[in-house]
Chain A
Amino acid sequence: MEISRQKIESVELEDDRVFTWPTLVVKEFLAAIFVTVGLLFYSYFVDAPLREISDPGQAENPAKAPWYFAGLQEQLVYFDPWYAGVVLPSIIVLGLILLPYLDNNPKGNGYFTFKERKFAIPVFVSGYVFWYVLVYIGTALRGPFWTFFWPWEKWTHDFPTPPPLHNLSLPWGIALLVGFYGIGYAIPLFVKRDFFRNMGIIRYALTLGLLLTMIGTVGKMILRLAFNVKYIIETSVINI
């Protein structure tokens, strides 16, 4: 026993490694304790909401989705439910799933860096921030009938009637949409040649498709807010 012990004891750590026990396990243990204490503390002082019993005949005004979906509900101002509630979130999830396959920049793998990822980081972070801005607007700044109120304003039921909305005529609408995607796809080809060369056609098509849809979603919001445009394209089956 004593002899073999000598041999066993000389455990060598590889290069930059440390023992998981205790280095990492201690931190996990402390984190677990802090989270538990934090939650207990918060729960002791702040009650979870509980309103009156549900009543299908008495709609809440405003009726709000849970905060993490309030951003999508906020998009209902700008889009029909099929887009705001179903297609847009599906595109977001699909985009997230595709992300590792679209980003073929080999640099910046496993460490914080902005310099080596000047395209990926701004795009992702703006999307991330945009999501939370919408969440904030949807939860905090929307009052009765989903009317916008600044944080310092009181929610009332008598607000000025919003200006009437109008739609673009069909040919103009289609031209705008096709033009937006067409020009969007073309710009990098002229401005930044190697962008396309590095990505290949499939990656390029998907990446720009997702990026343009993200920009287009903001664009539609601007059209609505600044020019009172309800639909870019209005048909009997589908409105955008």
Chain B
Amino acid sequence: MKDPDSKKKFKDSVNEIWRSVFRHGYKDTPRNRILQIISNVWLHLHPAQVREHGTKIRFTWCMGGITFFIFLFETITGILLMFYYTPDVNKAYADTMDLMYVVPFGRLLRNCHRWGAHAMVITVSIHMLRVFLTGSYKAPRRFNWVMGVFLLVITFLLSFTGYLLPWDQLGYWAITVGMNMAGATPFLGHEGPFAQVLGMTANNDVRFALMGGSTIAAPALLRAYVWHCIGIPLIAAALMMVHFWRIRKDGGISGRL
């Protein structure tokens, strides 16, 4: 590139490609800082400017953002796990064993997914504590707190439904404990108070509906799998869309007026 003209031409063409992707220049100018956010489909979740205290880790503890990130992390590792796992009582345990001992990086993959799930339960509850302690649930953010509570429950359920999938003793008996509690629901569970009122038996109560049977067997495994991999993640994603949208609509991150 001795020709000074060719250097400029090269720069121009790089710039042209850059602009075709990002729709604005590369230079660090105030204008580009704003365009960086508002002309990017992912980043425009954010406003172009935020109140300074809202960017401080000591204010948000970054816990909402990290919870969201772990959700994405779980989605990716979860999809990879689905390539190897079959929700069939004759295969589930063997598939999980294979992941631990045969599949390349399978052990790391499963460990990541498992510990990520625990981490998400922890971070979401710390996030809730932060939101409480800053009083950020007060008007106008009341409804977003309610969305948050739904997300909290959903996070528990995501983790809980995943617990059965390895089909080992740990998961099996943990879910048994949970399902016995469901069977004790007043009115709706056959072992709960007032079960007779609606004529509940082990074959038609809420526990039966959750397990697809009166014991934890093939239908229960399939139900846990479908809820875990499709149903609950979709609900979680929908709730998060509302949660994030409301943060913006409620005036951005909370703070002193």
Inter-chain contact A80/B30, CB cutoff 8 Å: no
Task: Say yes or no: B191 contacts A81, CB within 8 Å.
Answer: yes
Q: How far is it, in angstroms, between the C-alpha of A53 and the C-alpha of B178 when the chains are bound?
A: 19
| Pairwise interchain contact B168-A52, C-beta atoms closer than 8 A | yes
Known contacts being A20-B37, A51-B169, A93-B149, is A110 close to B256, with CB within 8 Å?
yes
- State the main secondary structure of chain B at its contact with A: helix
CA distance A101 to B139 in the complex (A): 9
Residue count of chain A within 8 Å CB distance of chain B:
78
Contacts of A58 in B (CB 8 A): 169
* B254 neighbours in A (Cβ, 8 Å): 109-110
Q: What is the number of residues of chain B that contact chain A, defined by CB distance less than 8 Å? A: 91
Q: A20-B37, A40-B108, A44-B108 are in contact. Are A100 and B137 (CB under 8 A)?
A: yes
B111 touches A46 (CB 8 A): yes
Contacts of A201 in B (CB 8 A): none
Contact A111 B112 (CB under 8 A): no
Please give me the 9 A-B residue pairs with the lowest Cβ-Cβ distance, nearest first: A85-B181, A43-B111, A54-B172, A81-B184, A110-B254, A48-B114, A63-B173, A100-B142, A11-B30
22 A/B residue pairs, CB under 8 Å, sorted by A: A27-B57, A31-B69, A39-B73, A39-B112, A43-B112, A50-B100, A54-B168, A54-B171, A59-B173, A63-B174, A64-B173, A68-B159, A81-B184, A81-B191, A81-B192, A82-B184, A85-B181, A93-B149, A99-B145, A110-B255, A121-B133, A128-B129
| Interface of B toward A, CB cutoff 8 Å | 29-31, 33-34, 36-37, 43, 46-55, 57, 62, 65-66, 69-70, 73, 93, 96-97, 100, 107-108, 110-116, 118-119, 121, 129, 132-139, 141-142, 145-146, 149, 152-153, 156, 159-160, 163, 166-174, 176-178, 180-186, 189, 191-194, 215-216, 254-257
